[in-house]
Amino acid sequence: MDSASIQFVLFGLAIAILSNFSRSAAWRSAVLMLASLTFLGLVAVHPITLLPLAGFLALGYVGVQISQRTGSRWMAFTVTLILLIYIWLKRYTFLPENIFLRFPYLTLGLSYIFFRVLHLVIDSGSESQKPRISLFNYLLYTINFTTIVSGPIQRYENFAHDQFAEEPPPLHPGIVGLQFERIIRGLFKVNVLGMLLQNMQEDTLELLTQPMPESVKLIAAFRLILIYPFFLYCNFSGYIDIVIALARLMRMQLPENFDRPFSASSFLDFWNRWHITLSTWLKTYVYNPSLLTLMRRITLRAIEPFLGVFCFFVTFFLVGIWHGRTSEFAIFGILNGGGVAGNKLWQMSLTNWLGRKGYKALAANAVYIAFGRGLTFSWFAFATFWFWASWKELGAIFTSIGVIAWLTVWLAVWLTATAILAVWEWLRNRLMSWKSSDGPVFLGRYARVIYATVMGFTFLIVNLLLNQPAPGIVYKKF
Amino acid sequence: MWSRTLIRFDKTSAAVLLEHALYTSRNQYIKSVLAGDDANSYLAADLDPQWQNRLHYFEQEFASIAARAKEKNIRIVVVLVPSRGQAALVSRGHWDPQFDPYKLDNDMRQIVVRNGGIYLDILPSYRSIPYAENGFYPVDGHPDADGHSVIAKLLVQQLTGGAIPALNAEKTTMDKGN
């Protein structure tokens, strides 16, 4: 149920039908609550495994109430307490083993609940925004089954705007058709493309760590680097496609989480397009406040530009360590933070060197953009090694070929990614420029029906042939 | 009706072709095998009652044949040629604890040895053969020409490696001759 499976989609569709029996907020909320509780009941092996999650939700609700009543006075304490309990429940490996709970319990969705709870606590305590939230609405928002597993991280006011509206977002046949197409696309991405790419990645990893000729290993290393980002994209964005479409059928508009991330021409731009709701959350609650605080305290003009670089590093380092509780994710954080901070420094130094106008002209240059895109992809691919591999695997991977060979492979990856992504962008622009009166032909109704049918049939055939459970969603474990 | 449609589709050339393509990935093949019926039978760490019955029946039959052979002073030699799934798992070298590709092999060896037969254990040798499953047809599962060649070599190793003392002596003579 907690994956991009047919069962999950059928469950979501059944709930969407039930939800549309009435447009009243009370009915839709009751259905959503029932569905979310049922979903949790289905994924929990025993009711007792839900207790820590329930405790965390209760703590969050108390925190929200305290913030609403006392403003910012207790906010730092409340936020710290929630953060510590979260780290404890997630069993971060830097904590001593003996302080953890001894029984197995459900942590599914804990990270996403954590973001929602913190957002509510912080906003409830601020002067300008004080959403009054009942316990029912709080639970409805935090355990919403469409967003609990892997997001997207929706803001409460946006959730409330649709969920409690007297006139919820419209749902006509055109919209329903688009959502079905999106569900099929999501199923195809996760269960066909993602599954194939995951198999390729696992096969390649085995090939790299077995006694094989150097030439075979070089190609394996090259493939290993290229495959994982595409797999992760298919796996995560496919699941997000499904939940956004299911939620829309329930008259909720979830925020988008991806915007063609591999088209990004810089690492800064990449994080505006990949897991958008996470990076937006961190920019709102970490980057902006920390930059403001530093700028108030450090007034030295020469240092000022570097404060942003520092805050970028901290923010995207946190993105990394949020993903997991082991030291590998700390490196993933450093590589992400380093990538973003390095990118900002590069922009600053080029602006100093070329002047604002000169830099603008360079940044608009097609060749510069293409190489930037290739480098962004390569850096992300490099960083993700610490995302998917353990230290043991990393040791085996990086010792499988020599240093010079690895450098050659990375250079080849950069150049190949530059070429492939440039060709893809060119092709996409050409295809999109072919327009009818309704817009681009390839986004038209008939084109969508054709490729949704092809993707749907392919998904069904592969599913029938392999007869295996749907692949797990990588972001589910975070 | 659904399962009938599925079975019909499964037999089509297109389905076989697609399965063949999908099973060229070792990890996909292993996932499919372990998600299928085989996982709950002879690849499981604990054999299910049906397979236990089969082994029980095998022991009864083998004991009877072995007794008659012994009267004629004949020793029976038994070898279990692995399935593609067993070969893939053993060659890869790791699997989840609920599975054990050696389980059936071990149980068969015990039965054969207990009843006075000679068991040629070729399965462990697949560990040292990279991508051993490539010696089997991906969908059909039977050994292909390369797979038969591997099996023959492993049999020669076992037969001349001490399982049959007379053949071992023959090998020593041959070695000396060389």
Buried b (16+ CB within 10 A) or exposed e, A84-103: ebbeebbeeeeeeeeeeeee
- B35 at A interface, C-beta within 8 A: yes
- Residue B135 amino acid letter: G
Give residues 140 to 199 of A whose Cβ lies within 8 Å of B: 195-196, 198-199
Looking at residue B2, what is its pLDDT?
A: 60
The closest alpha carbon to A397, from A233, A229, A201, A230, belongs to A201
The confidence band for B3, taking pLDDT boundaries of 50, 70 and 90, is: low
Among the partner-chain residues B19, B27, B130, the one whose CB lies closest to the CB of A465 is B19
Whether the CB-CB separation of B147 and B82 falls below 8 Å is answered with no
Per-domain residue ranges of chain A: 21-163, 173-258+436-471, 261-432
Looking at residue B84, what is its pLDDT?
A: 93
Rounded Cα distance, A320 and A373, in Å: 21
Q: How far is CA A289 from CA A273, A315, A316, B28, in A?
A: 22, 11, 14, 47
Among the partner-chain residues A196, A202, A466, the one whose CB lies closest to the CB of B32 is A466
Chain A nearest C-alpha distance from B16 (Å): 9
Chain A nearest C-alpha distance from B135 (Å): 17
Phi/psi at B72 (nearest 5 deg)? -95, 10
Chain B nearest C-alpha distance from A195 (Å): 9
A469:B92 CB<8 A: no
Domains of chain B: 25-177 (3.40.50)
Q: What mean pLDDT is predicted for residues A357-382?
A: 96
Lowest mean pLDDT among A43-52, A219-228, B9-18: B9-18
pLDDT for residue A6 is more than 80 = yes
Q: Are strands A435-436 and A439-440 parallel, antiparallel or unpaired?
A: antiparallel
The confidence band for A93, taking pLDDT boundaries of 50, 70 and 90, is: confident
For residue range A394-417, what is the model confidence (pLDDT) as tens digits?
A: 999 999 999 999 999 999 999 999
For residue range A417-427, what is the model confidence (pLDDT) as tens digits?
A: 999 999 999 99
Looking at residue A438, what is its pLDDT?
A: 81
B27:A203 CB<8 A: yes
pLDDT for residue A211 is more than 90 = no
Q: What mean pLDDT is predicted for residues A357-364?
A: 94
Rounded Cα distance, B59 and B63, in Å: 6
Cβ-based contacts of B6 with chain A (< 8 Å): 464
DSSP H helices, A189-326, are 195-208, 214-249, 267-270, 276-282, 288-297, 304-322
Mean of all residue pLDDT scores within chain A: 92
The confidence band for A28, taking pLDDT boundaries of 50, 70 and 90, is: very high
- B92 at A interface, C-beta within 8 A: yes
Cβ-based contacts of B31 with chain A (< 8 Å): 199, 466, 468
Give residues 93 to 122 of B whose Cβ lies within 8 Å of A: none
- B27 at A interface, C-beta within 8 A: yes
The pTM for the full model equals: 0.90
Whether the CB-CB separation of A150 and A186 falls below 8 Å is answered with no
The closest alpha carbon to A218, from A411, A83, A393, belongs to A411
Rounded Cα distance, A102 and B163, in Å: 51
Rounded Cα distance, A439 and A204, in Å: 41
For residue range A304-313, what is the model confidence (pLDDT) as tens digits?
A: 889 999 999 9
Q: What mean pLDDT is predicted for residues B128-143?
A: 91
Among the partner-chain residues B18, B27, B92, the one whose CB lies closest to the CB of A199 is B27
Mean of all residue pLDDT scores within chain B: 87
Coil, strand or helix at B77: strand
Q: What mean pLDDT is predicted for residues A439-443?
A: 89
List, as one string, the DSSP characters of A237-274. Answer: HHHHHHHHHHHHHTT--PPP--S-GGG-SSHHHHTTTS
Looking at residue B178, what is its pLDDT?
A: 47
Angle at A8 between CA A4 and CA A9, to 5 degrees: 85
Rounded Cα distance, B104 and B83, in Å: 11
Rounded Cα distance, B104 and B123, in Å: 10
Q: Are strands A439-440 and B77-79 parallel, antiparallel or unpaired?
A: unpaired
Q: What count of other Cβ atoms lies within 10 Å of the Cβ of residue A71? A: 14
Chain B nearest C-alpha distance from A468 (Å): 6
pLDDT for residue A465 is more than 90 = no
pLDDT for residue A162 is more than 70 = yes
Chain A nearest C-alpha distance from B33 (Å): 9
Candidates B11, B13, B25, B91: best to mutate against A (most CBs of A within 10 A) is B25
Q: What mean pLDDT is predicted for residues B31-42?
A: 76
Position with higher pLDDT, A95 vs A467 = A95
Looking at residue B169, what is its pLDDT?
A: 58
Task: Please identify which residue in the block is written with the tokens 């700390």.
Answer: A330
Rounded Cα distance, A134 and A347, in Å: 46
Task: Mention every residue, 6+ apart, whose C-beta is less than 8 A from residue A42.
Answer: A1
